[in-house]
């Protein structure tokens, strides 16, 4: 994880366990914090930490660095800082475990992994099918590349939060 | 592999699109349908499309005329028996398809590859309708709409399909600019299986009838995810009834695996006849 401090704000980037993320919040109770919570439920953190004023999901951002961000307390300074750091914040009002894009994409990736595990097709043919059959901007395995841990953790979190077996991860992600 | 003579059975949207694509690849095509009115409509649609391409200077009139000569519109009993490839694109009804394949098996020559453009039935079930000798030449070829534009063709290996024929078909489509994907004969093949969660997960994120929230999810998936359409606007375009039926069929085929479970909102929309754009009311209103 990386922290960037400016004015009264602290921006927390990168992947961490839920406890590591909460530790950052506990240790910075006097700051206004905006944190990357791609793999977790922002509502749980908002309830526990009043100093958390915004959350974002940058772990699945592509080269454009477009990043979903939710503000409990909107700050133009934070938006400008994120832009200065190369991000393109896209604001949302929807609070959901795993946000909107990461939550949707991990389920697509998980299904592609199940299909690969069952030898329905090769990873490259699955990517090709999704890109050229339904115009996905990337194939599921292209999205997965370098993000296996995030996918696994977010699926585990969704399973924990909902108890719904639809979030059970493919063996290829374990 | 040489594919020069193609027969496409079923002159609906998919069948005529597939026939048009093969003619554009300079194959000799016979488009077949029971209904002469349907054949007339398909002919008009294909020829109009080529005429428009000429106007847009994407085709020369010489090319368009050549293609028009390559495609014929016929009834089944008048088509060539020595076609290289037959593609079935009729109604999604297993019994009707099996009856058809039984007839086709007796009609076409030994070397003809029989294929189905089905999106919902296992290839091996349809292959039961043909003789053991034909089964190696029996495959799934799943095109995507519009077939002249969408590059994917799922090449589906049935239990008894010849590996070699599937591989040759894959190479042939690849050489013609399509993007083939080889896949096993399993429910939903690749796309209709993996794409289920593009709808199922946003439905669970929204979880209620809330147009503003749906708009927000659509916007984020387009803006952040790079998808061309959001899931709710896409379901409204495809038809919520059609999308719900595919979801249920994949869910049933996987013995009600929770990953494919339909969401209660999908059923509610169908029960209320809110099918999307075609009924002017779906997840969004179209007045």
For residue range B232-243, list pLDDT tens digits in order.
999 999 999 999
From the list A104, A137, A164, the residue facing B197 with the nearest CB is: A104
Please state, for a pLDDT cut of 90, what percent of chain A lies above it: 99
Q: Would the CB atoms of B201 and A104 count as touching at under 8 Å? A: yes
Q: What residue of A is the nearest CA neighbor of B193? A: A111
Collect contacts of A27-32 with beta carbons under 8 A, ≥24 apart.
A31/A5, A32/A8, A32/A73, A32/A75
pLDDT at B120 over 90: no
pLDDT band, residue B157 (cuts 50/70/90): very high
Report residue B154: phi and psi, to 5°.
Answer: -80, 120
pLDDT in tens, A107-139: 999 999 999 999 999 999 999 999 999 999 999
- Mean pLDDT over residues A19-37, rounded? 97
Q: Note the maximum CA span of chain B.
A: 58
Per-chain mean pLDDT for chain A: 97
Do residues B95 and B53 touch, judged by C-beta distance below 8 A? no
Structure confidence at residue B162 (pLDDT): 97
What's the ipTM?
A: 0.97
pLDDT in tens, A147-161: 999 999 999 999 999
- Mean pLDDT over residues A18-44, rounded? 97
Give the active site residues of B.
119, 142, 154, 192
Q: Would the CB atoms of A108 and B181 count as touching at under 8 Å? A: no
The CA-atom distances, in angstroms, between A128 and each of A61, A121, B190, B247 are 21, 11, 10, 22
pLDDT at B17 over 90: yes
Q: Would the CB atoms of B205 and A132 count as touching at under 8 Å? A: no
Structure confidence at residue A40 (pLDDT): 98
A-to-B residue pairs, Cβ atoms closer than 8 angstroms: 135
Q: Read off the pTM.
A: 0.94
The CATH-assigned architecture of domain A101-173 is: Orthogonal Bundle (1.10)
Quickly list DSSP for B240-272. Answer: HHHHHHHHHHHHHHTTT-GGGPPPHHHHHHHHT
pLDDT in tens, B44-85: 999 999 999 999 999 999 999 999 999 999 999 899 999 999
Looking at the complex, report in whole angstroms how far the Cα of residue B49 sits from the nearest Cα belonging to chain A. 21
Query: In chain A, which residues have their Cβ closer than 8 Å to the Cβ of B189?
Result: 120
Looking at the complex, report in whole angstroms how far the Cα of residue B195 sits from the nearest Cα belonging to chain A. 7
What chain B holds in terms of domains, given with CATH numbers, is: 5-191 (3.40.50.720), 195-279 (1.10.1040.50)
Per-chain mean pLDDT for chain B: 96
The CA-atom distances, in angstroms, between B28 and each of A14, B60, B163 are 57, 19, 26
Q: Which of A134, A154, A172 to mutate to test the interface with B (most CBs of B within 10 A)?
A: A134
pLDDT at B166 over 90: yes
Q: Which of B43, B42, B41, B37 is nearest to B68 (CA)?
A: B43
Looking at the complex, report in whole angstroms how far the Cα of residue A10 sits from the nearest Cα belonging to chain B. 24
Return the domain boundaries, chain A: 2-91, 101-173
pLDDT in tens, A75-97: 999 999 999 999 999 999 999 99
Structure confidence at residue A120 (pLDDT): 97
pLDDT band, residue B287 (cuts 50/70/90): confident
């Amino acid at each position: 994880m990386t922290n960037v401090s400016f004015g009264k704000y602290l921006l927390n980037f990168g992947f961490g366990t839920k406890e590591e993320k909460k530790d950052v919040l506990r240790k910075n109770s006097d700051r206004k914090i905006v944190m990357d919570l791609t793999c977790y439920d922002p509502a749980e953190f908002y309830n526990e930490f009043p100093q958390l004023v915004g959350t974002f999901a940058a772990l699945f951002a592509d080269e454009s660095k477009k990043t979903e961000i939710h503000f409990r307390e909107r700050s133009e300074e934070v938006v400008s800082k994120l832009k200065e750091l190369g991000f393109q914040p896209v604001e949302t009002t929807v609070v959901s475990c795993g946000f909107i894009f990461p939550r949707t994409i991990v389920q697509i990736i998980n299904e592609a992994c199940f299909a690969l595990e069952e030898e329905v097709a090769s990873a490259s043919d699955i990517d090709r099918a999704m890109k050229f059959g339904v115009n996905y901007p990337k194939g599921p395995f292209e999205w997965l590349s370098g993000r296996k841990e995030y996918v696994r953790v977010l699926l585990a979190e969704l399973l924990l939060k909902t108890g719904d077996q639809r979030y059970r991860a493919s063996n290829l992600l374990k | 592999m040489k594919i020069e003579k193609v027969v496409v059975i079923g002159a609906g949207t998919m069948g005529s699109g597939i026939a048009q694509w093969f003619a554009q690849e300079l194959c000799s095509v016979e488009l077949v349908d029971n209904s002469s009115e349907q054949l007339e409509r398909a002919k008009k649609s294909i020829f109009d499309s080529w005429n428009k391409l000429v106007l847009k200077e994407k085709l020369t009139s010489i090319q368009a005329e050549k293609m028009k000569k390559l495609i014929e519109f016929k009834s089944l009993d008048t088509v060539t028996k020595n076609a290289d490839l037959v593609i079935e694109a009729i109604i999604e009804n297993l019994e009707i398809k099996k009856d058809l394949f039984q007839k086709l098996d007796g009609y076409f020559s030994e070397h003809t590859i029989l294929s189905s453009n089905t999106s919902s039935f296992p290839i091996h079930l349809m292959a039961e309708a043909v003789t053991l000798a034909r089964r190696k030449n029996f495959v799934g070829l799943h095109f995507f709409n519009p077939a002249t534009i969408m590059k994917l063709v799922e090449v589906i290996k049935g239990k008894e399909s010849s590996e070699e024929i599937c591989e040759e078909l894959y190479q042939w489509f690849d050489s013609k600019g399509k993007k083939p994907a080889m896949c096993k004969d399993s429910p939903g093949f690749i796309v209709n299986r993996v794409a289920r969660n593009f709808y199922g997960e946003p439905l669970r994120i929204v979880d209620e009838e809330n147009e503003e929230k749906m708009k927000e999810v659509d916007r984020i998936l387009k803006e952040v995810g790079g998808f061309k359409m959001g899931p709710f606007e896409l379901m409204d375009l495809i038809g919520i009834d059609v999308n719900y039926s595919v979801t249920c069929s994949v869910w049933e085929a996987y013995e009600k695996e929770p990953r494919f479970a339909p969401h209660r909102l999908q059923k509610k929309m169908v029960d209320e006849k809110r099918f999307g754009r075609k009924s002017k009311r779906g997840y969004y209103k179209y007045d």
